[in-house]
Structure 1
Amino acid sequence: MKTWKKGLLAAGVFGLAFLVFIAIQATAKPPLQKDQARSQAPLVVTQQLQAQSHRFELQLWAEVRPKEQTTLTPEVAGRIIALDPNFIAGGVITKGTVLVQLDDADYQVALLSAQAAVASAQSALAQEQAQARVAEQELKHLSRDQITALALRQPQLLSAEAALKSAQAGLQKAHRDLDRTRISAPYDALVVKRNIGLGQVVSTGTALGELYSVEQAELYVPVASFDLAYLPAERAGIPAQLRTEHVSRDAKVVRDLGLINSQTRMSHLVVQLDDPYAVRSQQPVIRFGQYVEVRLAGRVEDKLYTIPQDALSNGKVWLLQPDMTMAQQHVEVVRQTGKFAYVKAGLTDGQQLILTVPNFPQPGMAVRTEQSDDKLVKAE
């Protein structure tokens, strides 16, 4: 009886275990199919790589300065009797405009006196020339050895010629002094300040005002030594573009200063802008003192891959393999800018660059793209 009970208990345990196994099999999920596993892989965005020629561009900053600046001073003394209306701080004037007119009455008198002196000297010279001809006729009967220069009145003639030249020089000076009573703009200019007023008596060398030329502006653009490598060897003539918040103007590099600043260790290129205040054109105005962005056109490099800066990490990128797995690749970067990196070696045309890398990426990790999802949907 006891053995029979033990056998019955064992059969019950075995039957219960069998029922549990059947229940587990009935509720267990079927194994994942290959397509289902792939559909759960991380989704990535890719970019197909294609090498292209690229012109480097340097983005720098510099202050706009006048190429010429002049402190206006008179060369003669006098009382100011007229001022140009635009000869005020902030006024823009064109070349040749008479900015200051001095009282020229005394200089008109001096001119008349110089003219009279010339006429008198010309008359004296004519008299001496006539007397020299008479003396030469009277001394014809004498031999050459007996005739002296004094007898021929040559010293008197030379003196009269010298007096005429002196009078003519005085006349030229009188004309210049009269012209100098009108003080004109030496170039198209911006008036920075005016130091004098109407009726004021000024002397030679008095500072009348300060002018900045608006015919051309210059910018001394600092360039780091590692950026110079991306510019052509011949600096003069490099195209440049000046940009502010609302304005863009074309300019050009005219020279390299040939120095390296001892404090900043920067080189400087001089960029020239024509007609910054648009006096003779319809271009937008760029003012002196503005700090503007300067974009310099650099050299052209063949076969570079342009990739987003975010796709590069420690000199490596992630690539999508044909079997939809990830692989890491070391690349040679030529230059990096704010948004992009330019790769010279390590990549080939047609490769798929992964732009959105999953968390905790590993070589060989399976991923999917929108294109692969589309293919999967169509296959189903």
Structure 2
Amino acid sequence: MKALLVKILVPIGIVLLGVVGFSLIKASAADDGDKKPVDTRPTVSVKALKAVEHQVLLTSFGEVKPLETTRLAAQVSGEVTSWHKNFVAGGLVKRGEVLFSIEKDNYQAALLQAEAALTSAQAALIEEQAKAQVAEDEAARFPNKPRTDLFLRKPQVLSAQAQVKSAQAALMRAQRDLEDCDVKAPYDALIISREVGVGQFVNKGTQVAQLNNIETAEIIVPIAGFDSLFLPAPLAETPVNISYKGINSFVRQGKIARDLGVIDSATRMSHIVVQVEDPYNLKSKGSDLKFGKYVEVSFAGKQLSEVFKLPQELVNNRTVWVVDDEQKLQAKEVNVLRTEGAYFLIDKGLTNDEKLVLTLPEYPQAGMEVKLAASNASDALK
């Protein structure tokens, strides 16, 4: 009986299990049909482009040099009697200060002789002019009798006048020689070297010192070819900042004086000259801009209009990625006008309000559909 019952129940159980399994499979299939499709588009961050006005900043480096260097020489001969306390290497002197003096006795005597000679020549001229007047009076009494210029003493008067001029010239030379006994600084100067001392006899024309002009310093600054396109116009008088970076950093102001007008054949660079007034602060206070110091020079170049300033990492082979109105990636070729630090300045290839892609998918393709990150989709790139 039990065996019969088992034979009957086993087939029935198998059938029931099949029905249950079929129901489960059908239910599962129905659930799968109800599921929404998965969005596989990559998410990107974008910002809306905005063109800007940009002031180009040009930067270069150069060495501070004196505007002029003078090899000072004595204008008269004689023994050195004294010299200025700052007339030593490294000393600073002002324009017109006496650097050293030469013994003056001989030149004072020469001045007295020249004055005496001038007085004598003037007396001789007065005498000749009086004699000429007497001759004219006598000629007037006998108007019909011819008189020569020699009789009227015209040559004698001309000769006396020439003697006076010669004496005046000698007096001027004697006065100049006496003044030249005091050798003065031709400008505010830094003493580079001195080759004269008290008691030393110097000859006329002997070099006795070397001076550097510290009224104005110059910095010759190289300008690369790609920077020369952005130089301001006019160039002269453009203000510049001169800075030194280090333990004793400082900033000074100067101006562009001129362009040297040539391009270096080796480097293909042009050069401009920057001038700085009173580099050693003889008339003001501040940090000395010593000759030989290597400094940075920066100044404003041209003003650029309607350019886009983009981080360099967003530009690859002059190409950037944007999202079009259909939310598809598009590659756009751009023209890089200039590089400044970590940015490119772009003047062609982009338009205002285009959506620049900030975070690209791993393998971007033109026409790839993307979705925008909601947090910054409408930001403007500045």
TM-score in same-fold range (> 0.5): yes
**Equivalent position of 1:377 in the other structure:** none
Change beyond 3 A, Cα 1:372–1:227: closer
Give the whole-Å Cα distance in 1 for the aligned partners of 2:78 and 2:20.
127
Amino acid of the structure 1 residue aligned with 2:258: R
- RMSD (CA atoms): 3.7
Amino acid of the structure 1 residue aligned with 2:146: Q
Change beyond 3 A, Cα 1:198–1:323: farther
**Equivalent position of 2:67 in the other structure:** 67
Change beyond 3 A, Cα 1:156–1:356: same
Q: How far did 1:62 drift?
A: 1.8
Q: How far did 1:133 drift?
A: 2.5
**Equivalent position of 1:349 in the other structure:** 352
What are the superposed Cα offsets for residues 99-119 of structure 1, whole Å, 9 maximum, x if unpaired?
A: 121111111111111111111
Describe the SS at the equivalent of 1:170: helix
State whether structure 2 residue 277 is matched by structure 1 residue 279: no
**Equivalent position of 2:380 in the other structure:** none
State whether structure 2 residue 327 is matched by structure 1 residue 316: no
Of the candidates 306, 309, 333, which is equivalent to residue 303 of structure 1?
A: 306
| Contact preservation (8 Å) 1:310, 1:355 | no
Q: How far did 1:124 drift?
A: 1.8
Q: How far did 1:45 drift?
A: 6.0
Matches within 5 A, 1:1-380: 11=14, 18=21, 47-143=47-143, 145-245=145-245, 246-319=249-322, 327-357=330-360, 359-362=362-365, 364=368, 366=370, 369=373, 371=375
Q: How far did 1:122 drift?
A: 1.6
Describe the SS at the equivalent of 1:130: helix
Give the whole-Å Cα distance in 2 for the aligned partners of 1:328 and 1:115.
94
Change beyond 3 A, Cα 1:240–1:32: farther
Q: How far did 1:240 drift?
A: 2.5
Describe the SS at the equivalent of 1:146: coil
Q: How far did 1:232 drift?
A: 3.5
Q: How far did 1:314 drift?
A: 1.0
Q: Give the stretch that moved more between structures: 114-123 or 316-325.
A: 316-325
Give the whole-Å Cα distance in 2 for the aligned partners of 1:45 and 1:208.
74
Q: How far did 1:154 drift?
A: 2.6
Q: How far did 1:67 drift?
A: 1.6
Change beyond 3 A, Cα 1:252–1:32: farther
Percent identity of paired positions between Structure 1 and Structure 2: 38
What are the superposed Cα offsets for residues 76-101 of structure 1, whole Å, 9 maximum, x if unpaired?
A: 11111121112222222211111121
Give the whole-Å Cα distance in 1 for the aligned partners of 2:213 and 2:52.
44
Give the whole-Å Cα distance in 1 for the aligned partners of 2:243 and 2:105.
52
Change beyond 3 A, Cα 1:372–1:75: closer
Change beyond 3 A, Cα 1:243–1:18: same
Q: How far did 1:169 drift?
A: 1.0
Give the whole-Å Cα distance in 2 for the aligned partners of 1:324 and 1:61.
47
Q: How far did 1:241 drift?
A: 2.2
Give the whole-Å Cα distance in 2 for the aligned partners of 1:372 and 1:173.
86
Q: How far did 1:320 drift?
A: 5.4
| Contact preservation (8 Å) 1:326, 1:367 | no
Describe the SS at the equivalent of 1:199: coil
Change beyond 3 A, Cα 1:193–1:47: farther
Amino acid of the structure 2 residue aligned with 1:226: F
Give the whole-Å Cα distance in 2 for the aligned partners of 1:78 and 1:47.
83
What are the superposed Cα offsets for residues 1-49 of structure 1, whole Å, 9 maximum, x if unpaired?
A: 9xx89x96x949x769949x88xx7xx99x9988x979x967x665543
Amino acid of the structure 2 residue aligned with 1:182: D
Describe the SS at the equivalent of 2:332: strand
Change beyond 3 A, Cα 1:116–1:337: same
Change beyond 3 A, Cα 1:144–1:353: farther
Give the whole-Å Cα distance in 2 for the aligned partners of 1:84 and 1:240.
36
Give the whole-Å Cα distance in 2 for the aligned partners of 1:32 and 1:117.
128
Describe the SS at the equivalent of 2:171: helix
Change beyond 3 A, Cα 1:372–1:53: closer
Change beyond 3 A, Cα 1:345–1:158: closer
Q: Give the stretch that moved more between structures: 357-366 or 265-274.
A: 357-366
Describe the SS at the equivalent of 2:58: strand
Describe the SS at the equivalent of 1:209: strand
Describe the SS at the equivalent of 2:197: coil
TM-score by length of 2: 0.81
The count of aligned residue pairs is: 364
| Contact preservation (8 Å) 2:47, 2:376 | no
Change beyond 3 A, Cα 1:117–1:255: same
Amino acid of the structure 1 residue aligned with 2:198: L
Give the whole-Å Cα distance in 2 for the aligned partners of 1:289 and 1:65.
6
Change beyond 3 A, Cα 1:359–1:204: farther
Change beyond 3 A, Cα 1:263–1:32: farther
Describe the SS at the equivalent of 2:271: strand
Q: How far did 1:72 drift?
A: 1.0
| Contact preservation (8 Å) 2:80, 2:100 | yes
Change beyond 3 A, Cα 1:339–1:33: farther
Amino acid of the structure 2 residue aligned with 1:189: A
Give the whole-Å Cα distance in 2 for the aligned partners of 1:33 and 1:90.
87
Q: How far did 1:322 drift?
A: 7.4
Q: Give the stretch that moved more between structures: 279-288 or 62-71.
A: 279-288
What are the superposed Cα offsets for residues 319-358 of structure 1, whole Å, 9 maximum, x if unpaired?
A: 4567877554332221112211111123333344344546
Which runs of 5 or more residues in structure 2 are unaligned? 378-382
